């Protein structure tokens, strides 16, 4: 764990030493972290990389609830550790990750006795809840085309997006078949070029216009 992260919590020297002694773990891409029904065992601090948390419905359709990157926390883990609620989603590393795991008993002790740590957890929790609220707003009120265009722009590395239609569907809360049809429409309009597992963005201004919600 980086010393700067520990320092930001305002912990006394003893608390800093306890956190600094926790091992740093490297997780390969695709490593599962939890599944529905499991209890939370540790608070995850992401030092590098990205973890994605998804919810799967009875039909098998997935939605990406949120991602956890450095400086962010997992809503479901916080609820599980503080309220003994089991996980309802799945989490796995989307990239190689470096993490530190704060065991459940230590997490609860820090929450009870260290105002700096408690403030960090609550502020991070509030920020993630705002992210989740925005996701619900987009899924409930945003057009599929708007959400898909925004996702493509967000995922693009230069002009290229490396993602399957199923990945894009999970990200925007839609079905794979719907995403495939919308991408075909984007391709006909000259906005993108599609290939297996990739989408090349050929008209960025046009996609930005679609992604921008109307006033």
Structure tokens at 10: 């305002």
pLDDT tens for each residue of 160-213: 999 889 888 888 877 888 889 899 999 999 999 998 889 999 999 999 999 887
Question: What does the DSSP 8-state code read for residue 23?
Answer: P
The length of the chain in residues reads 215
Helix (H, G, I), strand (E, B) or coil at 14: helix
Query: Where do the structural domains in the chain lie, given as residue ranges?
Result: 3-140, 143-211
| Residues 215, 212: Cα–Cα separation, whole Å | 9
* Confidence (pLDDT) at 26: 97
| Residues 147, 15: Cα–Cα separation, whole Å | 43
* Confidence (pLDDT) at 140: 66
Of the pLDDT bands very low, low, confident and very high (cuts 50, 70, 90), residue 38 is: very high
| Residues 190, 34: Cα–Cα separation, whole Å | 41
What is the arrangement of strands in the sheet containing 198-201, beginning at the earlier edge strand?
A: 160-162, 198-201, 192-195
| Residues 59, 191: Cα–Cα separation, whole Å | 31
pLDDT tens for each residue of 103-127: 999 999 999 998 888 888 898 888 8
| Residues 57, 63: Cα–Cα separation, whole Å | 8
- Is 148's pLDDT higher than 80? yes
Average pLDDT over the chain reads 87
**pTM metric for this prediction:** 0.69
* Confidence (pLDDT) at 62: 79
Nearest in space to 70 (alpha carbons), one of 2, 133, 122, 130: 2
pLDDT tens for each residue of 17-33: 888 889 999 999 999 99
**In this structure, which CATH number among 2.60.120.10, 2.60.40.1120, 3.40.1190.20, 2.60.40.420 belongs to the domain 3-140?**
2.60.120.10
* Confidence (pLDDT) at 2: 46
Q: Which residue is associated with the tokens 């599962």?
A: 32
* Confidence (pLDDT) at 46: 92
Going 161 to 48 to 32 to 174, the CA torsion angle's sign is negative
**In this structure, which CATH number among 3.40.50.300, 3.40.640.10, 1.10.10.10, 1.10.3720.10 belongs to the domain 143-211?**
1.10.10.10
pLDDT tens for each residue of 43-86: 999 999 999 998 887 777 778 888 899 888 899 999 999 988 89
- Is 153's pLDDT higher than 80? yes
* Confidence (pLDDT) at 132: 78
């Amino acid at each position: 764990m980086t010393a700067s992260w520990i320092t930001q919590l305002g912990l006394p020297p003893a608390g800093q030493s306890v956190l600094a002694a926790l091992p740093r773990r490297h997780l390969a891409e695709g490593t599962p972290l939890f599944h529905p029904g499991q209890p939370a065992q540790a608070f995850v601090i992401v030092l590098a990389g990205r973890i994605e948390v998804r919810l799967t419905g009875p039909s098998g359709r997935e939605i990406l609830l949120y991602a956890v990157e450095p400086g962010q926390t997992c809503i479901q883990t916080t609820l599980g550790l503080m309220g003994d609620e089991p996980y309802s989603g799945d989490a796995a590393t989307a990239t190689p990750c470096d993490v530190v795991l704060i065991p459940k008993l230590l997490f609860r002790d820090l929450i009870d006795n260290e105002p700096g740590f408690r403030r960090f957890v609550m502020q991070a929790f509030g920020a993630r809840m705002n992210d989740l609220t925005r996701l619900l707003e987009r899924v409930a009120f945003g057009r599929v085309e708007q959400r898909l265009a925004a996702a493509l722009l967000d995922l693009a590395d230069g002009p290229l997006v490396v993602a399957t239609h199923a990945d894009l569907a999970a990200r925007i809360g839609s079905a794979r078949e719907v995403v495939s049809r919308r991408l075909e429409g984007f391709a006909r309009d000259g906005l993108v070029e599609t290939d297996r597992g990739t989408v090349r963005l050929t008209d960025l201004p046009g996609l930005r216009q679609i992604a921008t919600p109307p006033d």
